Amino acid sequence: MRGLAVFISDIRNCKSKEAEIKRINKELANIRSKFKGDKALDGYSKKKYVCKLLFIFLLGHDIDFGHMEAVNLLSSNKYTEKQIGYLFISVLVNSNSELIRLINNAIKNDLSSRNPTFMCLALHCIANVGSREMAEAFAGEIPRILVAGDTMDSVKQSAALCLLRLYKTSPDLVLMGEWTSRVVHLLNDQHMGVVTAAISLITCLSQKNPDEFKTCVSLAVSRLSRIVSSASTDLQDYTYYFVPAPWLSCKLLRLLQCYPPPEDGAVKGRLVECLETILNKAQEPPKSKKVQHSNAKNAILFEAISLIIHYDSEPNLLVRACNQLGQFLQHRETNLRYLALESMCTLASSEFSHEAVKTHIETVINALKTERDVSVRQRAADLLYAMCDRSNAKQIVAEMLSYLETADYSIREEMVLKVAILAEKYAVDYSWYVDTILNLIRIAGDYVSEEVWYRVIQIVINRDDVQGYAAKTVFEALQAPACHENMVKVGGYILGEFGNLIAGDPRSSPLVQFNLLHSKFHLCSVPTRALLLSAYIKFINLFPETKSTIQEVLRSDSQIRNSDVELQQRAVEYLKLSSIASTDVLATVLEEMPPFPERESSILAKLKKKKGPGAVSVNELEEGKREGGELNGGGERGGDSSAIASTPSPSADLLGLRAGPPVTAAAPSAGSLLVDVFSEAGVNDDGFLRFVCKNNGVLFENQLLQIGIKSEYRQNLGRMYLFYGNKTSVQFVTFTTTVTCPGDTLVLEPLIEGGAQVQQVINIECLTDFSDAPLLNIKFRYGGALQNLTLKLPVTINKFFQPTEMASHDFFQRWKQLSLPQQEAQKIFKANHAMDTEVLKAKLLGLGMALLENVDPNPENFVCAGVIQTKAQQVGSLLRLEPNAQAQMYRLTVRSSKDTVSKRLCELLAEQF
Amino acid sequence: MIKAILIFNNHGKPRLSKFYEHYTEDTEQQIIRETFHLVSKRDENVCNFLEGGLLIGGSENKLIYRHYATLYFVFCVDSSESELGILDLIQVFVETLDKCFENVCELDLIFHMDKVHNILAEMVMGGMVLETNMSEIITQAEAHNKMEKSEAGIAGAPARAVSAVKNMNLPEMPKNINIGDISIKVPNLPSFK
């Protein structure tokens, strides 16, 4: 086509972009006039013009005409014209429905033409466009072509992929029918091309309808075994550089990954044999020095390893796979190192091979340091993250931190998140955690997102054993002449809360602290300045001696007349507050922040979002939570764990479960480490709080599992029945539950009842009063993935109440007796539910105390009395609830002979009304 | 699934683009530019895989590429494809082009875009691999060439039209004739014992 060649040469000779556009516009005008002209164009010219249009399109110019001509071409009887018409339509897909209708007509003709070339062209077009209209028109026809006995192989191949495309775009239109079983049998087809095409279709269909296509497993295994055991010359043209049918082998191994290991012993044996052969071949000397040979061989090997990891049931194969990958880690081919790191990442989550993967830690760290290719370094970082556990966390985090200093910009943010997560998840002592995060801010401050620094503050606030250390560390970090704004934020917040803990040292006296913070003030952005202003007012409360200095700062024009409304308002309000409020009021208003409630980390969620679904498994999230929860409670993991199989266990064994060592009294409320003010309320807590005033109900429910609870209490003893309901149709394997109790306060004895329904009984004995709920950890495997779940068991101190009736006189006498300030706990809170008297009464009764009538002079108020029975002692408690319907508020006052009990009851009840 | 197949030269000039998912023309051009930017800054002898650009789905997708002389061949694939398998596929594609064009070079791709598309269509369809057997692909491509030539003959010389029409189906016939009974596929028989 000379015209085309001339045009292309013209374009290539254009000296400037403008000249090129000019030439293209000229050509477009020419083609347009030719298409519109009266003179009928012959096939050759039409083809020439369409080719020109394709070329123009490839250069990035929109083509908005020529579709009609293309439809004319593809309706022609000549191959040349038809082919170019279809090509145009598949490259320049247009969703104009009028046009699609015309195209559909032509396709229909070609499909019924019995000319294989035309049929293939038509099928290609459907597969390329894949629109809804096409699916509607052809979804019924194509399966017929695919399984018809007289269809030629090349057409079958196209039909299989065409059907796959339609199934992907409009699964509702592709109806399963009798053809499905015949499609599965295409795996047995003699023509390897047909198998190649069909296997993509079967894989996709099996993923969506595993049961209907189950028979493909044995067929795939036998096909695979025939290929693997064939000599390299047997498959003729499908042998690629001495490797028999590598592409098809990979696809067969992928298909098998849609299913669990075959149940049929013979099939499984054959498959294991195949996998072993593949692993053996890797050790044989290569049949060719060409890179293509080793490529093809290793493509199969990596798929085989993926399958082994997917099955996760053959320790022998897993170890071999791990060793093989270990060899590849040091291979001179970069591609193989990359893939080995990637595969090892999945291997690290298998319990059989986690330890084996860990032995390669030095190699992986070395890869992170020395690989020239950022893709490979990133895989190494991923693998370090995956293989991290408590034993190597310090080493890995240190390596990642040092890598961060030189890391590529593209992966810094992700690295920061990973370091933050690992540091939190595996923190044994929190000073290490604080150091790590502050280092993180120092090294890569720009990449530390809000989630990360929010988190470190939450953790410091919730753990008073680390507060002093944190204050000291940030104070030192702020000494640096240039420090990152995120550091100033963390520093401002922490010194504002806990600066008093280091104020004793003259080197960090209140004024020194203030001056240090204020020296950074002018370099910071508005939000940070606002935070610092709040820190200053907190200083006034903590250190009255700084009051005049700070007031002066607040009074300065640059604050009180700041053009930013927020800053100005803060300056004005804080100044006023500090000058008119009494010390007491100031102390109340500026009290230390209360601990944050337990929430799930949003850093993980962020990493998940960043990496896309699938990158961080739900497992990991759950695991993070569990690890944290465990740490927090301060208690060790409970002594024994009891196993519940999803099938009834033959011996209902009685396992004693003792709680871990007691928590130090100073520890803040348990399980409050993994807190996050910014994420939504943790579901588990909600479930837990619902049970304060009732004993039966559903504790937890997700797509897989439902847990119901029934419980009864008498004196200081209780019994709890947990009912586990499997909501799926698949068995849960290795279902284990562990109950841990923080502190030596409760004795929990889980028993397992055999029987059809899986039910667990827990006997409870209350030794002394407590505020931390026991934790129930549940682990099981569902479809190969480990599920891990930690719930708070709704055992609360009020469950051991014994109601006490008494007259008004007695009540007030006792009320007065409990007059020590620490014996009383009071809370004023907003009503969460309607203030219905009957509902309130029912709730108070559910609490377990006696509801006393005619005691309080105000009939609107409720008073209750009860005695908490523990093994160690009895704790008498009195309660008064004063609703204020107008303000929709309550005042709740609890007095009891033990201060911790008052406090805990008050906390529990405040959430109920 | 293969999301896109891109060929561009060392300067980022696109020589072939085939998308198996729908994007607007604008996005397609941006994807080509982004991909070129990602791939071209990499050294030789580093690995052939990297995470996809943001436009084409970020880390969900991988770019698998090979650099031959002046051309980059880039396949953008999702996680269901074997990386090494795709590398082999690129090799098959290039070797096929080489056989069809007798020592393929960049100019062949520029001036015979339609042919390149046809060859690719014999290998990949709707993002899935149709055929990996090089000789099968070449046979098909040659059959199409012959058909083209015979039709050109009709247009150019009406006098020979009659005889040409008789022969017209011949190039595709050998395959048909062979397969009078479809279950007999002579070349492949020995493989199935």
Q: Per-residue b/e over A253-277, b at no fewer than 16 CB within 10 Å? A: bbbbebbebbeeeebbebbbebbbe
The answer to whether residue A852 scores a pLDDT higher than 50 is yes
d(CA A828, CA A717): 32
Helix residue spans in B41-172 (DSSP H): 83-101, 106-111, 113-123, 134-156, 161-168
d(CA A423, CA A395): 11
pLDDT at A266: 93
On whether any CB of chain B is under 8 Å from the CB of A128, the answer is yes
Encoded amino acid at A45, one letter: S
* Other Cβ atoms closer than 10 A to A730: 12
d(CA A255, CA A187): 11
A335 → closest Cβ in B48, B121, B151: B48
**Element counts in chain B: helices (H) and strands (E):** 7, 7
> DSSP assignment of A202-268, as one string?
HHHHHHH-TTTTTTHHHHHHHHHHHHHHS-TTTTGGGEETTEESHHHHHHHHHHHTTSPSPSSHHHH
The answer to whether residue A676 scores a pLDDT higher than 50 is no
Average pLDDT over residues A520-525: 90
Tens of pLDDT, residues A374-385: 889 989 999 999
Tens of pLDDT, residues A209-252: 888 899 999 999 999 999 988 875 566 678 888 888 999 999 99
B129 → closest Cβ in A57, A83, A247: A247
Residue percentage of chain B with pLDDT more than 70 = 78
Ranking A301-315, A403-417, A653-667 by mean pLDDT, the lowest is: A653-667
pLDDT band at A491 (very low <50, low <70, confident <90, very high): very high
B151 → closest Cβ in A55, A79, A226: A79
pLDDT band at B7 (very low <50, low <70, confident <90, very high): very high
Ranking A695-699, A720-724, A728-732, A853-857 by mean pLDDT, the lowest is: A728-732
Tens of pLDDT, residues A598-632: 665 667 767 666 654 433 333 333 333 333 333 33
A161 → closest Cβ in B29, B126, B182: B126
* Residue owning tokens 């298409």: A35
Q: ipTM of this predicted complex?
A: 0.79
pLDDT band at A841 (very low <50, low <70, confident <90, very high): confident
Tokens of A111: 């499909």
pLDDT band at A258 (very low <50, low <70, confident <90, very high): very high
pLDDT at B44: 83
Annotated binding site of A: 2-3, 34, 44, 48-52
Ranking A412-426, A592-606, B40-54, B116-130 by mean pLDDT, the lowest is: A592-606
CA A152 to chain B, closest CA, distance in angstroms equals 6
Query: Best mutation site among A11, A74, A80, A195 for testing chain B: the one with the most B CBs within 10 Å?
Result: A80
More confident residue, A277 or A764: A277
Ranking A310-319, A832-841, B97-106, B161-170 by mean pLDDT, the lowest is: B161-170
Q: Do A237 and B187 touch (CB under 8 A)?
A: yes
The answer to whether residue A475 scores a pLDDT higher than 90 is yes
More confident residue, A875 or B75: B75
The answer to whether residue B108 scores a pLDDT higher than 60 is yes
Q: Do A164 and B128 touch (CB under 8 A)?
A: yes
A237 → closest Cβ in B133, B148, B175: B133
d(CA A120, CA A157): 9
d(CA A162, CA A122): 10
Residue percentage of chain B with pLDDT more than 90 = 41
Rounded mean pLDDT of chain B?
79
Residue percentage of chain A with pLDDT more than 70 = 87
The answer to whether residue B187 scores a pLDDT higher than 80 is no
More confident residue, A850 or B181: A850
Tally C-beta pairs within 8 A across A and B: 203
pLDDT at A784: 66
- Which stretch of DSSP H or E encloses residue A891? strand A889-896
Q: Do A236 and B51 touch (CB under 8 A)?
A: no
Taken in order A44, A47, A52, A58, the sign of the CA dihedral is: negative
On whether any CB of chain B is under 8 Å from the CB of A472, the answer is no
The answer to whether residue B184 scores a pLDDT higher than 90 is no
- Using an 8 Å CB-CB cutoff, list chain A residues near B22: 93
Tens of pLDDT, residues A344-387: 998 888 877 888 888 999 999 999 888 888 889 989 999 999 99
Query: Best mutation site among B18, B38, B43, B46 for testing chain A: the one with the most A CBs within 10 Å?
Result: B46
Rounded mean pLDDT of chain A?
82
pLDDT at A897: 85
Ranges of beta strands (E only) in A645-804 are: 697-701, 705-714, 717-726, 733-740, 746-753, 759-766, 775-782, 785-792, 801-803
Tens of pLDDT, residues B139-155: 988 888 888 888 776 55
- Using an 8 Å CB-CB cutoff, list chain A residues near B42: 373
pLDDT at A633: 33
pLDDT band at A476 (very low <50, low <70, confident <90, very high): very high
Residue percentage of chain A with pLDDT more than 90 = 29
On whether any CB of chain B is under 8 Å from the CB of A65, the answer is no
Tokens of B133: 């057997």
Q: Do A153 and B134 touch (CB under 8 A)?
A: no
pLDDT at A748: 59
pLDDT at A108: 93
pLDDT band at B124 (very low <50, low <70, confident <90, very high): very high
Q: Which residues contact A295 (CB under 8 A, 6 or more apart)?
A: A241, A335, B84, B87, B88, B91
The answer to whether residue B173 scores a pLDDT higher than 70 is no
CA B77 to chain A, closest CA, distance in angstroms equals 14
On whether any CB of chain B is under 8 Å from the CB of A43, the answer is yes
pLDDT at A641: 33
pLDDT at A754: 41
Q: Do A299 and B191 touch (CB under 8 A)?
A: no
Average pLDDT over residues A678-701: 64
Tokens of A610: 């960043």
The answer to whether residue B156 scores a pLDDT higher than 90 is no
